[in-house]
Structure 1
Amino acid sequence: MLQITDLHATIADKPILKGLSLTVATGEIHAIMGPNGAGKSTLSYVLGGRPGYEVTGGSATFNGEDLLALDPHERAAAGLFLGFQYPVEIPGVSSLQFLREALNSQRKARGEDPLTGGEFLKLAREKAALLKLDPELLKRHVNVGFSGGEKKRAEMVQMGILDPAFAVLDETDSGLDIDALRVVGEGINAIMRRPDKGVLLITHYQRLLDYVRPDRVHILSRGRIVRSGGPELARQLEAEGYESLSGAVTA
């Protein structure tokens, strides 16, 4: 589903990704862990097409299509969703308006009919209930006045509404308390744990993986994957830290 081969990328002429290779098959959830500065967020931004991140080598394909050749809105229409570590606020635009426009724009790109206002509101309420988010919050401007946990839940509601084929989630557990972490984890499972979807879950901690059990765990260090394993690798990191895996962190 997602095939990354020898990917190199820079930001402001500084090399960040240095030969990263990774394959996520359809129906799989993979987690990426690594110390600060390893390149985790850079990877998510490169896959999402954020301006300022220059790919200098390698390739990334999504369902056989050259992902790096697509504009960000084309990647979204193709079924790629990017969840941000720090969801942005958009004053003056209601969440409902934003989400309806985003969904119908993607449906148009796929040759599908737009949802009516009533159809969209029903869908939004269903996804808000799944994430235990007060649907009244969706009437507010995007993320304005939201707590950290509300922003993350709202972003998962957005993912549920857009129903992507593949989600790249950058530290979705950041800023969540214990209850919100459980709700968000269960939401990810309900929305994305399907045989026709895939997830790349970027996290610092094993705690989210208690709820979203990955098929594979990868350690990212100095711009490339240096070790991969099953869920037990995340538990080892939680217990011993990255320094215990000196070969991985210094590779």
Structure 2
Amino acid sequence: MLNIENLHAAVDGKAILKGIDLAIGAGEIHAIMGPNGSGKSTLSYVLAGRPGYEVTQGSATLDGSDLLALGPHERAAAGLFLGFQYPVEIPGVSNVQFLRTAVNAQRRARGEAELSAGDFLRLSREQAGALDMSMDMMKRPVNVGFSGGEKKRNEMVQMGIIDPRLAILDETDSGLDIDALRIVGDGINRIMRKPDKAVLLITHYQRLLDIVQPDFVHVLAGGRIVRSGGAELAHELEREGYGAVAA
């Protein structure tokens, strides 16, 4: 589904990614772990098309199409979803307004019929309820006044409504307590653990991986993937730290 070859990228002229090679097949969940400053968030932003992140070499394709040639909205319409480490607040725009606009814009881009107001509200209630969010919260401005855990659960609701093919989740477990971590982890499994979907999950901690149980774990250090393995690699990192494993 996602194929990255020799990807290099820079921010403000400084090289951050220095040759990423990664292939994620349909039905797979891949976790990326690594020390601060290793390029994990940069990788997610480059794949999503965030301005200011310059690809200097290499390629990335989604379902065989050149991902890097698409604008951010085109990547979203192609099925890519980015979950932020620090979800932004959007005052004056309710979750319901934001998500119905986003969903129907993507459906139009794919030549699909738009969801009616009734169908969208039914979908919203279903996804919000599965993540212990009330419809009152869905009617509030996007992430305004939300706690850290509520923002992350709100992103899972967004992901469930948008229903992407590829989810890139940047430290979704950051700032979550034990209960919220379980809710978010179960949400990832419920929405994305399907044979036609895939996940690139960026995290510092093995605890989320106990819930999501990735198929592959990669260690990113110095702008490169330096180790890859199964779930046991995350346990090794938890015991020994990045220094010993990435050496």
Which category of TM-score, normalised to the shorter sequence, fits these structures?
Answer: over 0.9
1:233 counterpart letter in structure 2:
L
Equivalent residue number for residue 159 of structure 2:
159
Q: What is the rounded CA distance, in whole Å, between the counterparts of 1:93 and 1:242 in structure 2?
A: 41
Equivalent residue number for residue 98 of structure 2:
98
Equivalent residue number for residue 235 of structure 1:
235
Are 2:42 and 1:35 aligned? no
Aligned pairs for 1:1-251 within 5 A: 1-245=1-245, 248-249=246-247
1:173 counterpart letter in structure 2:
D
Please give the root-mean-square deviation of Cα atoms over the aligned residues, in Å.
Answer: 0.6
Shift of 1:136: 1.0
1:111 counterpart letter in structure 2:
G
SS at match of 1:211: helix
2:196 counterpart letter in structure 1:
D
SS at match of 1:185: helix
Count of residue pairs the alignment pairs up: 247
**Identity %, equivalent residues:** 72
SS at match of 2:51: coil
2:163 counterpart letter in structure 1:
D
Shift of 1:135: 1.9
SS at match of 1:181: helix
Shift of 1:152: 0.2
Q: Which runs of 4+ in 1 moved over 6 A?
A: none
Q: What is the rounded CA distance, in whole Å, between the counterparts of 1:130 and 1:198 in structure 2?
A: 20
Shift of 1:244: 2.0
Unpaired runs of 5+ residues, structure 2, are none
1:176 counterpart letter in structure 2:
L
Provide Cα deviations, 1:66-102, integer angstroms capped at 9, x if missing partner. Answer: 0000000000000000000000000010110000000
2:46 counterpart letter in structure 1:
V
Q: What is the rounded CA distance, in whole Å, between the counterparts of 1:25 and 1:116 in structure 2?
A: 33
Shift of 1:134: 1.8
Q: What is the rounded CA distance, in whole Å, between the counterparts of 1:133 and 1:242 in structure 2?
A: 36
Q: What is the rounded CA distance, in whole Å, between the counterparts of 1:69 and 1:243 in structure 2?
A: 36
Shift of 1:59: 0.2
Q: What is the rounded CA distance, in whole Å, between the counterparts of 2:205 and 2:130 in structure 1?
A: 24
Q: What is the rounded CA distance, in whole Å, between the counterparts of 2:86 and 2:134 in structure 1?
A: 20
2:58 counterpart letter in structure 1:
G
Shift of 1:227: 0.4
Shift of 1:181: 0.1
TM-score by length of 1: 0.98
1:158 counterpart letter in structure 2:
Q
Provide Cα deviations, 1:5-60, integer angstroms capped at 9, x if missing partner. Answer: 00000000000000011000111000000000000000000000000000000000
